[in-house]
A and B are shown apart, each in its own frame.
Chain A
């Protein structure tokens, strides 16, 4: 009878230890997101620096409101042995005389800590047009 209770207690302890070993418990990561508007002459006409801590597997969402355009950028980090896998989702809604246009995309890149990637949520315009760029990097967020 006693052995049965000891076994039950041991199972509970092991269960708790198993939960702690999940990737979610690897600690927070810091995601730096910088949306900016790039002019055709490569000057930056507007930018905003955003930092956000999150857990691996949990997304950070940035909503960028512009004139007639709403951009949602979702960045989800996953921890790899030698860096991170960043899954970036873009959802764009543009309203105008032609009605509502919408574009969605999901892409991923494997990066090293603090290695920057660039997301073009509106696509790559021709060189004579203004562009929206979102610079993204990820690093250890500490405890």
Chain B
């Protein structure tokens, strides 16, 4: 059987040969045992590809995990520590966290409390004020000493 004939059988198996050529190939497959065997092999491969999909690896994965677990048993780190040490560490962390929370909370309350809001006052409308220059900061005692 020539390679070109195998290609024709493969195309016919995939339904890619149109009339009137498909009926000729069909007759040849029925009459010629070699063409018939080739067509059967192509159909088998086609069915495997369409139906079987990915194999089930669950059992193989399970075996690999069992093997690894037997060689390197995994134990939680905490299991190595006595309960008393774990309790002491938890208490110390609680104290540190509470202290930090108190410190930050205290700063936050003072900083954002009502007394830190921008204070607003209104000068009566009839009192006209105007900008005369740059701001000046002096000691009050100096001002009183320079008074009339």
Given A2-B85, A45-B127, A117-B140, A107-B119 contact (CB < 8 Å): no
Are A65 and B136 interface neighbours, CB within 8 A? no
Q: Which of B10-63 contact A (CB under 8 A)?
A: none
Q: Total contacts A to B, CB within 8 angstroms?
A: 159
CB B119 to nearest CB in A, in angstroms, measures 5
> Which of B89, B121, B131 sits near A64, CB closer than 8 Å?
B121
- Chain A contact patch, size range: 35 or more
Which residue of chain B has its CB nearest to the CB of A72? B118
Docked Cα-Cα span, A115 to B143, in Å, equals 13
Which residue of chain B has its CB nearest to the CB of A63? B120
Chain B: residues with Cβ within 8 Å of the partner, total of 40
Docked Cα-Cα span, A122 to B141, in Å, equals 20
Are B116 and A54 interface neighbours, CB within 8 A? yes
> Which of B116, B131, B132 sits near A58, CB closer than 8 Å?
B116
Docked Cα-Cα span, A89 to B132, in Å, equals 17
In the bound complex, residues from chain B placing their C-beta under 8 Å from that of A117 are: 137-140
Are A118 and B143 interface neighbours, CB within 8 A? yes
Interface of B is mostly: mixed
Given A13-B96, A53-B110, A117-B140, A92-B121 contact (CB < 8 Å): no
Q: Is A55 engaged at the interface, CB distance under 8 Å to the other chain?
A: yes
Besides A117-B138, A121-B135, A129-B130, 16 new A-B residue pairs in contact (Cβ under 8 A), listed by A number: A2-B85, A25-B103, A25-B107, A53-B115, A54-B115, A55-B107, A58-B110, A62-B120, A62-B121, A64-B121, A103-B134, A103-B135, A116-B141, A123-B131, A132-B129, A135-B140
- Interface set of A (CB-CB < 8 Å, partner B): 2, 5, 9, 12-13, 16, 19-20, 24-25, 28, 33, 35, 37, 42, 45-46, 48, 50, 52-55, 58, 60-69, 88, 90, 92, 94, 101, 103-105, 107-109, 111, 115-126, 129-130, 132, 135
